[in-house]
Structure 1
Amino acid sequence: MLCFLNCHLAAHMNYASERVDEFEYIMDKLVFNCEKAPKIADHKLVFWFGDLNFRIQDHGMHFVRSCIEQQNYSLLWSKDQLTMMKKKEQLLQEFDEGPLDFQPTYKFDLNSDNYDSRLYRNWFGFNGKKRKPAWTDRILWRLQPTEEEEGNSIRQDLYTCNMEFSISDHKPVTGVFTLEAEGEWSSDLDAVVLYRAMQPFPSSSWDWIGLFKVGFSSVTDYITYTWVKDDEMNSSEEATQVYVSKEEIPVWGGDCVLCYYSGALQCVIGVSEPFKVLASKVAIEEGFSPERINDLDQIVAGEDFHQ
């Protein structure tokens, strides 16, 4: 289960501790009307983004702007308040962030790519103090440790700011992620098959991916199958995703493999590692039992079912 959380934390240079307090308050107090994941930390993956308002402290205006002009962003990282706070705040350490290899996103003149150049009025008139640039706009993520143990992982492919937008004194940030998930199979949920071609082969509209019991002896022993071209969801140079409806997945589960059958070559050209299809929780709750233990897709209703 995923959680996407956007927030705006306290502003100004001297309020770094208050920003952390607000972060912790949101984590502790926000409650969802969801039995499986009532709190933020209960979600398998959390994306936390927005104007987190952390600033670059200690360095002077001239040094900060000079580093930006020369694209020496790494010289500013050690004084980024969020980076500094993560070293001592355990909660922040649970969240990951990609490298800040883009220019600070605040503060810009409106309708411009120029950093703050306005004169601000104080009690005695105008002074020349301007806002120091900072990475106030951030994207963080948190993957539950148990998900990593189960083989699920997340990779950030892009983290940057979008300079073409100028209607605000902030520049928006963009993050692109790849989530590798070892998902569970059961007839309670639709599934997605992801495959990669290790070498070129002649594909056709007659290619299909079949679900077989471990130890099958013939290509006709499939439990179910899906047409690759008809049910393709997404395709790239790296991988192809194919949709499998939950209606096609055996209710009673078992140890299975997936096989790719090439219509042009008239043979199986790829076999997955064995994996377990879980018994349907819905079927169990409704009192279904297998008609024959060895037949994954044959079930009848039974009043006295015992697991």
Structure 2
Amino acid sequence: MADALGVSICTWNVATIDPPEQLSQLLERLLSFDPDVCIIGLQEVSSKPHEIVQAAFVDDPWTEAMDAVMKPRHLIQLKSTRLQGLLLVVYTKLHHLPFMHNLMANVTRTGIAGLWGNKGSATLRMDWYGRSLCFSNWHLTPHADQWDKRCKETQQIFEDQNFNIGNTMNIMDHSFVFIFGDLNFRLEGMSREKALNHLVKNELEPLKEKDQLRITLRDRDEFEGYAEGEISFPPTYKFDPGTHDYDTSPKQRVPAWTDRILWKEDTGTDPILKQLEYHSHPDMDHSDHRPVSAYFQLKLPVDGATPLVRFDPVRTLRCGQNAVCSYSIAQDTKTSSWDWLGLYSLEFSSIERDYKTYVWADARSASKQSGKYQVTFQAEYLPDDCYDKFVLCYYSSVMECTLGVSAPFKFISKTTEMEMSEFQYWKPVSID
């Protein structure tokens, strides 16, 4: 039986600004739908040389600001990827982690003969409950007279985005593809004065008839098979930052819907992907662009799904003592001596960064009688917090993803006995 899962996507050209305080308000709106996955695609993130170097070692300010909002909502940063000013970050609920496999990132440079990354795409693909999904954040060439160049860049990205995973060798091969970003398509043959006159009267249809992307979707084959929700919001570019006024600079840009979200479904069955919301966020006036977001409902076979790694219930771990953990691995699962098990506070942001401690998995340690594997966490590396909740996660270096998450548990003091609640490992975590 298929369950309806929620997917929130947001795109914003931030024009090199720092994360504003109101970013939390934007993210809270995205989370108001209680999505299972939340994808943020930014363009023109400040990418000065020293910032690029820093980003190789620590998260950039935008990712840190987003993590701070997502963490209390128990959304984990699944993965992030960056191409110069393009930033793509994917968050998910904890209980979905063991079912997100074969994560792979890819980037395509389209700026300056394909050598410069100021324009292009940053993409993440994954398998989720037996379906392949691809999320791609784009920033294409600007200006109204560069319509054909944008279409050529589209072809370049589709040809270049290759993944050597199963039947998804190319971005187009996935069951679901989401393309979003500053696609930079403009209004064809409409003056600024005429566009503003229509907008004053809230007449969007005359502008939509001149929209280059809408015409491309209808009459050309670069985006064959892709769809877009009905646009019911004013153009998202170009504003005087900090105002609701369209460009009053000497350039006098014609308003346009440069910021878009497209999708394609290729499942060979009745449609199981549905867009429920598509709108802009006009109060986020910090950049010359307005953010655009969409909410989708996706039906996937969640019921009966079993993680590749299953932890035995953790009952009585005591502060100051070694902790022994047992788990089983599904047959034919690819393992490695570089796989590891991490201990995490229940409220954490990143699998690769936020562990309290970890141990290497030992693929040779399984008991012949039970088929169980066992590892030991040394007492000196364990937390002495008897109030926080924790989980164990098994990370596969081969598949570059989490294969199992334990039920939440607590460490108990030497003088206190506490029964741990048993949860199904792939069900939502219960938070007090």
The one of 281, 295, 298 equivalent to 1:162 is 281
In the TM superposition, what is the alpha-carbon distance from 1:99 to its structure 2 partner?
1.1
Work out whether residues 111 and 167 of structure 1, in 8 Å CA contact, stay in contact via their aligned partners in 2: yes
Matched, 1:174 2:290: no
Question: Could you say what secondary structure the match of 2:146 adopts?
Answer: helix
**Separation (CA, whole Å) in 2 of partners of 1:36 and 1:189:** 21
TM-score normalised to structure 2 length: 0.39
Give the letter for the 1:139 counterpart: I
Matched, 1:139 2:270: no
The one of 96, 106, 115 equivalent to 2:246 is 115
- Please say which structure displays the higher CA radius of gyration: 1
Q: Greater strand percent: which structure?
A: 2
**RMSD of equivalent CA atoms:** 2.0
**Separation (CA, whole Å) in 1 of partners of 2:229 and 2:281:** 16
Q: Deviations over 1:93-146 (max 9, x none)?
A: 3100011110000000011111001124xxxxxxxxx00000000000000151
Change beyond 3 A, Cα 1:44–1:110 = same
Counterparts of 1:1-307 in structure 2, within 5 Å, are 1-120=132-251, 130-146=252-268, 149=269, 151-181=270-300, 187=306
**Separation (CA, whole Å) in 2 of partners of 1:66 and 1:180:** 43
Give the letter for the 2:185 counterpart: F
In the TM superposition, what is the alpha-carbon distance from 1:88 to its structure 2 partner?
2.6
Work out whether residues 216 and 222 of structure 2, in 8 Å CA contact, stay in contact via their aligned partners in 1: no
Work out whether residues 45 and 141 of structure 1, in 8 Å CA contact, stay in contact via their aligned partners in 2: yes
In the TM superposition, what is the alpha-carbon distance from 1:158 to its structure 2 partner?
1.0
Which runs of 5 or more residues in structure 2 are unaligned?
1-131, 310-432
In the TM superposition, what is the alpha-carbon distance from 1:162 to its structure 2 partner?
0.7
**Separation (CA, whole Å) in 2 of partners of 1:177 and 1:54:** 23
1:285 is aligned to none
Q: Deviations over 1:202-247 (max 9, x none)?
A: xxxxxxxxxxxxxxxxxxxxxxxxxxxxxxxxxxxxxxxxxxxxxx
Work out whether residues 152 and 180 of structure 1, in 8 Å CA contact, stay in contact via their aligned partners in 2: no
**Separation (CA, whole Å) in 2 of partners of 1:118 and 1:137:** 21
Q: Deviations over 1:263-284 (max 9, x none)?
A: xxxxxxxxxxxxxxxxxxxxxx
In the TM superposition, what is the alpha-carbon distance from 1:14 to its structure 2 partner?
0.5
Name the structure, 1 or 2, with higher relative contact order (CA <8 Å, separation 6+). 2
Change beyond 3 A, Cα 1:184–1:24 = farther
Work out whether residues 30 and 39 of structure 1, in 8 Å CA contact, stay in contact via their aligned partners in 2: yes
Give the letter for the 2:226 counterpart: F
Work out whether residues 151 and 222 of structure 2, in 8 Å CA contact, stay in contact via their aligned partners in 1: no
Question: Could you say what secondary structure the match of 2:148 adopts?
Answer: helix
In the TM superposition, what is the alpha-carbon distance from 1:180 to its structure 2 partner?
2.6
TM-score normalised to structure 1 length: 0.54
Question: Could you say what secondary structure the match of 1:82 adopts?
Answer: helix
Give the letter for the 2:208 counterpart: W
Give the letter for the 2:137 counterpart: N
**Separation (CA, whole Å) in 1 of partners of 2:297 and 2:238:** 30
In the TM superposition, what is the alpha-carbon distance from 1:20 to its structure 2 partner?
0.8
Give the letter for the 1:42 counterpart: D
In the TM superposition, what is the alpha-carbon distance from 1:42 to its structure 2 partner?
1.5
**Separation (CA, whole Å) in 2 of partners of 1:99 and 1:88:** 17
Which runs of 5 or more residues in structure 1 are unaligned?
121-129, 191-307
Change beyond 3 A, Cα 1:186–1:112 = closer
Question: Could you say what secondary structure the match of 2:223 adopts?
Answer: helix
Corresponding residue pairs, total: 178
